[in-house]
Amino acid sequence: MVWINTNVSVKAAAGATPNRWDLLALPLVVGLLALIAVGGHQITAPLEGVEAAPVTLDPWMLPDYALRSTLRMLAAMAASLVFTFTYATLAAKSRRAGLLLIPLLDVLQSVPVLGYISFTVAFFLALFPGSVLGAECAAVFAIFTSQAWNMAFSFYQSLRTVPRDLDEVADGFGFSGWQRFWTLEAPFAAPGLVWNMMMSMSGGWFFVVASEAITVGDRTITLPGIGSYLAEAIAQRELGAVGWAVLAMLLVILAYDQFLFRPLVAWADKFRVELTGAPVVPESWLLDLVNRTRFLRAGLAPFGALLGRAAWWRPALPAAAVNGLAARLALLRLDRVPARAVDMAWYAALAVAGLYGGWSMAVFVASGVGWSGVGTAFLLGGATLLRVVVLIVLATLVWVPLGVMIGLRPRLAEKVQPAAQFLAAFPANLLFPVAVVAIVRFDLNPDVWLSPLMILGTQWYILFNVVAGASAFPGDLTEAAASFRIRGWQWWREVMLPGVFPHYVTGAVTASGGAWNASIVAEAASWGDTQLTAHGLGSYIAQATAAGDYPRIVLGIAVMSLFVILFNRLLWRPLYAFAERRLRLA
Amino acid sequence: MPNTMNTALFELNGVRQAYAKPSGQTYVVLDGVDLTLRDGEVVGLLGRSGSGKSTLLRIVAGLVRPTAGAVRHDGQAVNGPTDGVAMVFQTFALFPWLTVRENVMAGLKAKGVPAREAAARAEEAIDLIGLSGFESAYPRELSGGMRQRVGFARALVVHPEILLMDEPFSALDVLTAETLRTDLLDLWMERRLPIKSILMVTHNIEEAVLMCDRILVFSSNPGRVAAEIRVELPHPRNRLDPQFRAMVDDIYGRMTARRPLAAPSPAANPPPAHAMPLEHVSTNQLAGLLGTLASPVYHGKADLPHLAASLRHEIDDLFPIAEALQRLGFADVAEGDIHLTEPGRLFAEAGLEERKRLFAEHLIRYVPLAAHIHGLLKEAATQRVPSSRIRAELIPFMSGDYAEETLKAVTSWARYAELFTYDDQTETFALEDAD
């Protein structure tokens, strides 16, 4: 991050002798660096080695596997950041690019994450023949697709809402585009972006687990990690090993939270634009620790200063560059002038490209699936839709009242909130084997009993959003309700439910999106060679992927994306708009 | 006074700012503005909100390019943000993630001034403006007055020729604003500021008379220079000085001179009567001012500066109320005075039902938009008219913001008068007895 406080250097340089905090912080930093080096070295190993001896169920191998999974997550996050900074910036700065990029982003985030992996494995393997790097890339890409879209959306929104007066200051002082980006736009977007990074990560663990053991057609790739350990445990019916995987995951998520996100959130707090002090200032012991060190800070100071200088970097332009810049400016101006002809040409080009894409997809699908096949896919989509709706309703009935009760008790909320966030991050697919064992043991109907797995991991979003909503509910309104003796059903209907509704919608959108994604794993679960399948679009895609039947994969993913888009447009967006318009607590 | 008032630093000739609306109509913000800024003077742009004075300031800053007219700085045409100016904002516009020192240095770093020199200049500006000791504070830790000092230091550190100020004191409380004004004036009179001239936007008449050598009074819709007034009172100026008071009264008079509420539109097809922008003033304020005027203290007639002072209102608060009363035929405003009309006196003395009846009558008679909507509702079979239809009728003749404000005004007045009502869920106007 480049907008680091360059002031650190001034203060820290005064006395660079180590203090007691350095003793604590230094091993931490060196240790982390060493871990990255070890894990990174293994990534370039040849593919044969991995395929020959994929994973063993020895629990002592788990730390190593956990490290590999964590690094995949980090790599995906880095890729997501790069994507966010380029894609969202382009969409925000160029009107015409935005016309294409924003709807595209909307579609991209509706495509089931596990769908991407079915497509891209072959591509990435061909990209790095013979090296495990190709398979790594495929896994990282899958995780990337679970993280990047909402980050890009958040960044885009922030870029579009940079306060006008700050914009004018930058204009008035003649900031270059680079300077404006790093000193105004990126810092302004930082709190929203960090929050979305956290949400992305918390959703991401699910896909780390799902993407490490990939089977597409006759190619099975197993990357060492917690996910593949789990897959092996399932194949060997080792419930004990599943337990070890759960434990390892718990520790990894805890470490991620403590070492990465707490410090990041605490640090990003200074970029909030409201000039009044925050009611709750996020804290991180690690950030405090680093801030208290002397030696470490003195060591970091030059980097901070360098980054600061990079942010303010102003190219001393040679003549050729100036000409290039002038050409770019002319281009930008072309973009601003609403020249009808250019617009029409642009729309026409987009329309042609869209039609061509749709046509080639239709031809491809038609080559392997008939019309009845399309009908089947839609029917199965309906089955999965029914599951999602029923599950959301059930989760709502359980968690909204509980969330309100918890949220109104600040001390309880303080304890429940981190737990709910933690549970949301915990990849529910680690627990699937337990459910499958139970279903097999009691001979239950998989069509019904596999369903709850879809919402196992994402119901917590509803809980912690409702808790947050109830905690933020104005005290004078609850007091007014109490003094007028508003109780029972009237209290829920006229006081509390409207108050938490906007928060609930936010949580429910995330939960339903997660449920659609999870359906691909949840509707087709296995334990050893026992296969349990529920009828639905998720199992349809899962089976097509296992069989390497590309026309069916494409059809299944297209239908699911369509269902998700329509579900969002017809249900969640109107609810969101309603909450925004009528239920905002000003 | 500095006596080198001959060099022209900045020249604006025939500046016009207009926006083309999709309907093909143009919406004029500023028209035919001439302005010359000379070495050593403080010039004030005084006017109501919406008179385009802030736009003019941004044209001088090079942030906005005028639709027509010439802008010259030291004889050179201005085509973008220039080095010779720096701006202080009403909202302070500080980067919340930068410390005081970093905020002050931002402009220097952007220009690529070497770090050592930038630090020295920042220290100098911070000392000058009275911020020493606050260098490492973040804006959120500072009071409003201290924040605006950072705004001043940040502008001064780049050594501009002209300091531009956009209502720099209006977000501050009275005492803090006065301290900052005095400090700035002292530095200016002692010639310790590295600038040649100050151009400030204000809607506070006393502030303009206190600080400026020359005041340009703007009229609204479109913004034009209505008057240019020289202030030759010696510094430090005393607000209680009779000459000072006379000047304030004079400017109040000019700003309330009997005139058409909006300048006649130069468009080929003049807008229909109901497409006139309205400013929303709550009926409580209207009734409150009528009651105050009718009270024995005023006997139906008051001097606006006096009234403003006793109500602690600035002109931007008081004028809209007075103008709304005038539009509704409850009061007359002229030459800095306001007096009740006969219906206004009746209203003040009436009970609630009678007030509503009187208000409805005047709304129909004097506010064509209210009469128009009322007429449409009577004709409509469903007795409902979508607000989108009314908005579409207004939008060719005013900006989107003004259309919203106008709809808000007419809705709230009609609700009070129980003439018609508005359903926010269906976004329709409806007759009071429709449901």
Residue B317: give its domain's CATH number.
1.10.10
Give the count of Cβ contacts less than 8 A between chain A and B: 85
Whether B370 and B227 map to the same domain: the answer is no
Domain tally, chain B? 2
Domain finish residue from B194, B226, B255: B255
Whether B235 and B376 map to the same domain: the answer is no
Between B351 and A354, name the one with better pLDDT: B351
Helix H, strand E, coil C: the string for chain B is CCCCCCCEEEEEEEEEEEEECCCCCEEEEEEEEEEEEECCCEEEEECCCCCCHHHHHHHHHCCCCCCEEEEEECCEECCCCCCCEEEECCCCCCCCCCCHHHHHHHHHHHHCCCHHHHHHHHHHHHHHCCCCCCCCCCHHHCCHHHHHHHHHHHHHCCCCCEEEEECCCCCCCHHHHHHHHHHHHHHHHCCCCCCCEEEEEECCHHHHHHHCCEEEEEECCCEEEEEEEECCCCCCCCCCCHHHHHHHHHHHHHHCCCCCCCCCCCCCCCCCHHHCCCCCCCHHHHHHHHHHHHCCCCCCEEEHHHHHHHHCCCHHHHHHHHHHHHHCCCEEEECCEEEECHHHHHHHHCCHHHHHHHHHHHHHHHCHHHHHHHHHHHHCCCCEEEHHHHHHHHHHHCCHHHHHHHHHHHHHHHHHHCCEEEECCCCEEEECCCC
In terms of residue numbers, what domain contains A448? 369-582
Chain B residues in contact with A176 by the CB 8 A cut-off are: 110
To the nearest whole angstrom, how far is the Cα of A149 from the nearest Cα of chain B? Answer: 26
pLDDT tens per residue across all 586 residues of chain A:
233 333 333 333 334 555 666 666 656 656 665 665 555 556 555 555 555 456 777 888 888 888 888 888 889 999 999 999 999 999 888 877 887 888 888 888 888 887 777 777 777 877 877 777 888 888 888 889 888 988 998 899 889 888 888 988 998 888 888 888 888 899 888 888 888 888 888 888 888 888 887 776 677 778 888 888 888 888 888 888 888 888 998 898 888 888 887 888 788 777 776 644 444 566 677 777 777 666 666 666 777 777 776 766 665 544 445 445 555 555 555 445 556 677 777 778 878 888 887 787 777 777 777 778 888 989 999 999 999 999 999 999 999 999 999 988 888 888 888 888 788 888 888 888 888 888 888 888 888 888 888 888 888 889 988 998 888 888 888 888 887 788 888 888 888 898 889 889 988 988 898 899 889 888 888 887 788 888 999 999 888 888 888 888 888 888 898 898 888 889 988 888 888 877 776 5
> Per the CB < 8 Å rule, is B81 touching A173?
yes
A273 touches chain B (CB under 8 A): yes
Q: What's the rounded Cα separation, in Å, for the pair B279 and B302?
A: 22
Whether A37 and A117 map to the same domain: the answer is yes
Tens digits of residue pLDDT in B177-235: 999 999 999 999 998 888 999 999 998 888 999 999 999 998 877 788 888 999 999 98
Residue A2 lies in a domain: no
Whether B86 and B204 map to the same domain: the answer is yes
Of B111, B154, B425, the CB nearest to A174: B111
> Per the CB < 8 Å rule, is B58 touching A179?
no
Whether A296 and A361 map to the same domain: the answer is no
Whether B235 and B289 map to the same domain: the answer is no
In terms of residue numbers, what domain contains B340? 273-431
Q: What's the rounded Cα separation, in Å, for the pair A43 and A67?
A: 12
Residue A540 lies in a domain: yes
Domain finish residue from B255, B286, B316: B255
What is the ipTM, given to two decimal places? 0.74
Contacts of B364 (CB under 8 A, 6+ apart): B370, B371, B374, B419
Whether A360 and A373 map to the same domain: the answer is no
Q: What's the rounded Cα separation, in Å, for the pair A550 and A548?
A: 6
Domain finish residue from B206, B229, B255: B255
Of B89, B98, B107, the CB nearest to A173: B107
Confidence at residue A280, expressed as pLDDT on a 0 to 100 scale: 55
Residue A321 lies in a domain: no
Whether A448 and A459 map to the same domain: the answer is yes
Residue B297 lies in a domain: yes
Residue A1 lies in a domain: no
Stretch B65-92: mean pLDDT, rounded? 86
Whether B420 and B304 map to the same domain: the answer is yes
Whether A307 and A341 map to the same domain: the answer is no
Whether B302 and B366 map to the same domain: the answer is yes
Whether B278 and B249 map to the same domain: the answer is no
Whether A456 and A482 map to the same domain: the answer is yes
Whether B97 and B229 map to the same domain: the answer is yes
Task: State which residue of chain B sits closest to A278, comparing Cα positions.
Answer: B140
Does A263 sit behind a cis peptide bond, omega within 30 degrees of 0 on the bond before it?
no
Residues 554-583 of A with CB under 8 A from B: 582
- Indicate if the alpha-carbon torsion angle A562, A568, A570, A571 is positive or negative: positive
Residue A456 lies in a domain: yes
Calculate ∠ Cα B363-B369-B372, nearest 5°.
Answer: 95
Tell me the percentage of chain B whose pLDDT exceeds 70. 93
Whether A59 and A119 map to the same domain: the answer is yes
pLDDT above 90 (res B264):
no
Whether A265 and A348 map to the same domain: the answer is no
Residue B412 lies in a domain: yes
CATH number, residue B189? 3.40.50.300
Residue B261 lies in a domain: no
Whether A302 and A343 map to the same domain: the answer is no
Confidence at residue A373, expressed as pLDDT on a 0 to 100 scale: 84
Residue B263 lies in a domain: no
Asked if B285 contacts B321 with a C-beta cutoff of 8 angstroms, the reply is yes
Whether A357 and A477 map to the same domain: the answer is no
Chain B residues in contact with A275 by the CB 8 A cut-off are: 94, 96, 139-140, 147
Of B89, B99, B109, the CB nearest to A165: B89
Q: What's the rounded Cα separation, in Å, for the pair A140 and A138?
A: 6
- pLDDT band for position B169 (50/70/90)? very high
> Per the CB < 8 Å rule, is B89 touching A277?
no
A178 touches chain B (CB under 8 A): no
Q: The tokens of A24 are what? A: 């604590």
pLDDT-wise least confident of A19-28, A469-478, B49-58, B280-289: A19-28
Whether A70 and A142 map to the same domain: the answer is yes
Chain B residues in contact with A272 by the CB 8 A cut-off are: 96
Whether B122 and B71 map to the same domain: the answer is yes
Whether B311 and B204 map to the same domain: the answer is no
Domain tally, chain A? 3
Whether B124 and B229 map to the same domain: the answer is yes
Whether B104 and B151 map to the same domain: the answer is yes
Whether A188 and A251 map to the same domain: the answer is yes
Residue A406 lies in a domain: yes
Confidence at residue B354, expressed as pLDDT on a 0 to 100 scale: 92
Residue B2 lies in a domain: no
